[in-house]
A and B are shown apart, each in its own frame.
Chain A
Amino acid sequence: GNSVTQMEGPVTLSEEAFLTINCTYTATGYPSLFWYVQYPGEGLQLLLKATKADDKGSNKGFEATYRKETTSFHLEKGSVQVSDSAVYFCALTTPPRGGSNYKLTFGKGTLLTVNP
């Protein structure tokens, strides 16, 4: 089956620090990979995605590269801001065997707190 493992938090950084949140996966088939962000009291928002090996997803200064050889999709940002404080989820889908039920499999989430 599919599974996602991401680094456990919480992660606490000072503003302008470099961020890495590790994510590795196990999947049957060829997965698409996602990072979602959940700000306090809100639902999940798609942050970035990559659908094939060596693709780099990017958004709002965040980046992640689909590494098939290491089955990884680590999230990085060069200079975090207080407003980046949130929970970050790594997730994947794989092509279904028939039908169109692309189900998301999530990691457990990593809480990031950025201090001024």
Chain B
Amino acid sequence: NAGVTQTPKFQVLKTGQSMTLQCAQDMNHEYMSWYRQDPGMGLRLIHYSVGAGITDQGEVPNGYNVSRSTTEDFPLRLLSAAPSQTSVYFCASRWGQGAGGYTFGSGTRLTVV
């Protein structure tokens, strides 16, 4: 099925470890973004990309890196995990120009111990 695919679904890291959360979409969407969801905080934008080779920071970018080498993929890297990065991470991509709707992946639940 077409959509946004995130891997892994669950991950436990030790403080200081690094990892990459994968996100891929097969809808040829130009706009992709990463959000984190924390209890009582809603969803907050980490990084976003408006096309291959173009990325920018969102609301809470510290501790995260991104790159966009292809239209399909938008990985999120944690270089040195911290307990404050324990969260559920969602990747989303957008269809249409203007105020189009977003398609979300099913999420990655990350725990940093």
A100 contacts B50, C-beta separation under 8 Å = yes
Partner of A93, one of B43, B44, B99, B104: B99
Interface residue? A95 (CB, 8 A): yes
The docked-state distance in angstroms from the alpha carbon of A45 to that of B42 is 15
Interface residue? A73 (CB, 8 A): no
A-B interface contact total, Cβ < 8 Å: 61
B45 contacts A43, C-beta separation under 8 Å = no
What are the residues of chain A within 8 A of B92 when measuring CB–CB?
Answer: 44, 104
Question: In the complex, what's the smallest C-beta–C-beta distance from A34 to chain B, in angstroms?
Answer: 7
A108 contacts B42, C-beta separation under 8 Å = yes
Chain A 48-73 per-residue mask, 1 if CB under 8 angstroms from chain B, else 0: 01010000000000000000000000
A32 contacts B99, C-beta separation under 8 Å = yes
| Highest count of chain B CB atoms <10 Å: which of A43, A100, A101 | A43
Interface size on B, residues (CB 8 A): 28
The docked-state distance in angstroms from the alpha carbon of A32 to that of B100 is 9
Residue of A nearest to B97 (CB): A100
The docked-state distance in angstroms from the alpha carbon of A112 to that of B31 is 30
Tell me what chain A mostly uses at the interface: helix, strand, loop, or mixed: loop
Interface residue? B12 (CB, 8 A): no
Interface size on A, residues (CB 8 A): 24
B56 contacts A101, C-beta separation under 8 Å = yes
Question: In the complex, what's the smallest C-beta–C-beta distance from A91 to chain B, in angstroms?
Answer: 8
What are the residues of chain B within 8 A of A108 when measuring CB–CB?
Answer: 40-42
The docked-state distance in angstroms from the alpha carbon of A45 to that of B44 is 16
Chain B 81-100 per-residue mask, 1 if CB under 8 angstroms from chain A, else 0: 00000000010101001111
| Highest count of chain A CB atoms <10 Å: which of B31, B48, B101, B105 | B101
Residues of chain A whose beta carbon lies under 8 Å from any beta carbon of chain B: 4, 32, 34, 36, 42-46, 49, 51, 89, 93, 95, 99-104, 106-109
Of the A-B pairs whose beta carbons lie under 8 Å apart in the complex, a sample of 5, sorted by A's number, is A43-B104, A101-B48, A103-B45, A103-B48, A106-B42
Which 9 residue pairs spanning A and B have beta carbons closest together? A32-B99, A43-B104, A108-B42, A106-B42, A44-B104, A43-B106, A106-B43, A46-B101, A93-B99
